[in-house]
Amino acid sequence: MGQVVKGVGGIYTVSNGEDAIKCYPRGRLRRQGEIYIGDMVEVSCDKEGIIEAVRPRKSALVRPYVANIDAVIIVIAPIPKPDFTLVDKLLIGALEQKLDAVIAINKCELEGARELFDAVKKDYADLAEICLTSVEENIGIEELCRRVGSRFVCLAGQSGVGKSSLLNALLGEDKCAIGDISEKSARGRHTTRHVEIFKSAYGGQIADTCGFSMLEMPLADPSVLREYYPDFEEFAQSCKYRDCRHADEEDCGVRRAVQEGKLSKSRYERYLKLYKDAYARWINRYGNH
């Protein structure tokens, strides 16, 4: 048995902790989405390694496919402009999979980092550990390394925020290619195109991923979305209806908390947009009943 630490073009690298071998999946496991990076797999060896079976997963994230992680490090930066809806979606994914979440504000030496830190604290203080890092000026790297500890973590976030740079800094070695930010759009270019797992200093593992910028919410019942907003919970207690979705219901405790400045307006507005999108997709698929 071993762990899938890398997969490119249908060929997987499986490691038993010491040696790594190239493996091909057997039969139906060749289909896309059957094998996740991080999977524990049964391997048989003939001339080459064959992946025979995948062990049950402790956790699973899709697009990119990563299995068995303990925590997700959501990386944002002053440049490219943060996409907080993506942060919200990644947090929903983390909660759904019962993963710990860390938000790393990278490029913290740049202008705007302080304001970004305050905004992140306002919206996410109850939901994730928050830390500041700069690969450029070697700030917060040691601390982030300690936070990773012996866990298996995955770096996630927009293209160009510095995930691969952070990984290299955490490993103390240049293992991953890093990209340029294109000057015109200040957007990343998707330099990392596959997921790969590396050993970290404190006995854990770190997976670098590509941008996740296409992350879509699964087609889920929109009414369950509120379950992934634990920060709304205390205010939802005073909603008139127990199954209130905090959209346009009368006497909604969550909307009241927003009006009274007790709950972040921007976080609520992004929730409402995600709710309405999910609702529209649900109606489109199952009709209005």
Ligand X SMILES: Nc1nc2c(ncn2[C@@H]2O[C@H](COP(=O)(O)OP(=O)(O)OP(=O)(O)O)[C@@H](O)[C@H]2O)c(=O)[nH]1
Mark the segment that binds ligand X (CB under 6 A) among 1-9, 119-127, 133-141, 228-236.
133-141
Q: Distances in Å between the alpha carbon of 185 and those of 108, 157, 229?
A: 20, 17, 32
Binders in 252-281 for ligand X, by CB under 6 A: none
Q: Is 156 in the site for ligand X (CB under 6 A)?
A: no
Of 72, 70, 65, the C-alpha closest to 33 is: 65
Examine residue 178 and tell whether it contacts ligand X (CB under 6 A).
yes
Which C-beta is closer to ligand X: that of 58 or that of 187?
187
Residue 3, helix vs strand vs coil: strand
Contact with ligand X (CB under 6 A): which of 13, 59, 192, 200? 192
From the list Mg ion, ligand X, Zn ion, none, partner contacted by residue 161 (C-beta under 5 to 8 A by kind): ligand X
188 binds, among Mg ion, Zn ion, ligand X, none (CB under 5 to 8 A by kind): ligand X
How far lies 119's CA from each of 88, 94, 116, 126, 264, in Å?
13, 20, 5, 13, 9
**Shortest distance, position 255 Cβ to Zn ion, whole Å:** 6
Residue 192 lies near Mg ion (rule: CB under 5 A): yes
Residue 124 is encoded by which pair of tokens? Answer: 């996410």
| CB-nearer residue toward Zn ion: 120 or 254 | 254
Residue 206 in contact with residue 167, Cβ under 8 Å? yes
The residues with which 23 forms a beta bridge, in sequence order, are: 12, 49
Q: Does 74 contact Zn ion by CB under 5 A?
A: no
What is the closest distance, in whole angstroms, from the C-beta atom of residue 271 to Zn ion in the complex?
11
3-state secondary structure string across 33-90: CCCCECCEEEEEECCCEEEEEECCCCCEECCCCEECCCEEEEEECCCCCCCHHHHHHH
Nearer to ligand X, 128 or 195 (CB): 195
- Dump strand ranges (E) for 57-187: 60-61, 66-67, 71-76, 100-105, 129-132, 152-156
Among 75, 139, 252, 263, binds Zn ion (CB under 5 A): 252
**Residue 144, SS3 per DSSP:** helix
| Location of structure tokens 């947009």 | 273
By C-beta, is 169 or 254 nearer to Zn ion? Answer: 254
Positions in the binding site for Zn ion (CB under 5 A) = 239, 244, 246, 252, 254
Positions in the binding site for ligand X (CB under 6 A) = 106-107, 109-110, 134-136, 159-165, 178-181, 188-192, 210-211
Positions in the binding site for Mg ion (CB under 5 A) = 163-164, 191-192
